[in-house]
Structure 1
Amino acid sequence: MKAAIYCRLSEEDRNKQFETDDSNSIQNQKAMLLQYAMEHGWEVYNLYSDDDYTGSDRRRPEFNRLLEDAKAHRFDIVLCKTQSRFTRELELVEKYIHGLFPIWGIRFVSIVDNADTANKGNKKSRQINGLVNEWYLEDMSENIRSVLTNRRQNGFHIGAFALYGYKKDPDQKGHLLIDEEAAAVVREVFTLFSQGYGKTAIARMLNDRGIPNPTEYKRIHGLRYQQPKRKNSTLWKYFAISDMLTNEIYIGNMVQGKYGSVSYKTKQNKPRPQSEWYRVE
Structure 2
Amino acid sequence: MESIPGTQAIARALCVLRAVARTRTARVNLAQLVRDTELNKPTVHRLLLALMADGMVEQDPKSLRYFVGRECYVLGGIASERFGLGREAVDAVSRLARSSGDSAFFSIRSDVFAVCVLREDGDSPLKTHVLQPGTRHPLGVGAGSLAMIAALDDAEAERALKENAALIELAYPEFTPAFLRAEIATTRMNGFAVNEGHVVRGSWGVAAAVHAPSGEVVGALTIAAVESRLPKERQAVLGKQIVDEARRLEAHLRRAAALLPEPKARKSTRAG
Which TM-score applies when normalising by structure 1? 0.26
Identify which of structures 1 and 2 has the higher relative contact order when contacts are C-alpha pairs closer than 8 Å and 6+ apart. Answer: 2
Which TM-score applies when normalising by structure 2? 0.27
